[in-house]
Chain A
Amino acid sequence: NAGVTQTPKFQVLKTGQSMTLQCAQDMNHNSMYWYRQDPGMGLRLIYYSASEGTTDKGEVPNGYNVSRLNKREFSLRLESAAPSQTSVYFCASSEGGQDEQFFGPGTRLTVL
């Protein structure tokens, strides 16, 4: 039982490049989330998926897109990376919308 897994762990991009962050959970959870964490600001929700087949914007969605590929997988895409997107990205899952969330180990992204 791996919980929530994320790939890659580290990534360096140049401004304008694109990439996809992958997330998978094996707990049969309905809801999945993408957060970014910046120093002094706490975690901020980018997008979430309340259930398979649905996605919604969170607090800071600009510059990102998501895909809920199936119940297990939820990916985050940066179409044209900007230095302001340098951050640590966490994926999480939960049984329902306001239940305890289980987090992945994070992806540290640097955009030059």
Chain B
Amino acid sequence: SQKIEQNSEALNIQEGKTATLTCNYTNYSPAYLQWYRQDPGRGPVFLLLIRENEKEKRKERLKVTFDTTLKQSLFHITASQPADSATYLCVFPWGFDMRFGAGTRLTVKP
């Protein structure tokens, strides 16, 4: 069956470093995927969408890659700040709707 895995439940990094979060999928070939940010006690907020033919997408300090051969997406935050601390979710289309990974909780320490 189809499966989405976000490799780390939690990731701790120092302010100013680059955070890299991983999302893997199996038995599936999505045409695109999305990344969302979720803060405690709040609903997820959309960040980026990348299509299978785009390989890389950037938005300010955020960068997403999509490797259909490895069946993997990487989400990077450069020059990380404590305000980037949150849970980040990768999301794939599934029929009409979307399927969410369990998320990676990122903590950026000052």
A residues whose Cβ falls under 8 Å from a Cβ of B: 4, 33, 35, 40-45, 48, 50, 56, 58-59, 90, 92, 97-98, 100-106
With A98-B98, A100-B46, A106-B41 already in contact, 7 other A-B pairs whose C-beta atoms are closer than 8 Å: A4-B43, A40-B102, A42-B102, A90-B44, A98-B97, A102-B46, A103-B44
Q: Are A58 and B43 in contact (CB under 8 A)?
A: no
Asked whether B59 is an interface residue with its Cβ less than 8 Å from the other chain, the reply is no
Q: Given A40-B102, A42-B102, A92-B43, are A100 and B97 neighbors across the interface (CB < 8 Å)? A: no
Q: How far is the CB of A74 from chain B (nearest CB, A)?
A: 14
B residues whose Cβ falls under 8 Å from a Cβ of A: 4, 9, 32, 34, 41-46, 49, 89, 93, 96-103
Q: How many A-B residue pairs have CB under 8 A?
A: 52
What are some 9 contacts across the A-B interface (CB < 8 A)?
A: A35-B100, A42-B89, A43-B44, A48-B96, A98-B97, A100-B34, A101-B44, A101-B46, A104-B43
The 7 closest A-B pairs by CB, nearest first: A103-B43, A42-B102, A43-B100, A97-B96, A100-B46, A42-B100, A98-B93
Q: Given A40-B102, A42-B103, are A58 and B44 neighbors across the interface (CB < 8 Å)? A: no
Q: How far is the CB of B1 from chain A (nearest CB, A)?
A: 12
Residue among A33, A101, A103, A105 facing the most chain B CB atoms (10 A cut-off): A101
Q: How far is the CB of A26 from chain B (nearest CB, A)?
A: 15
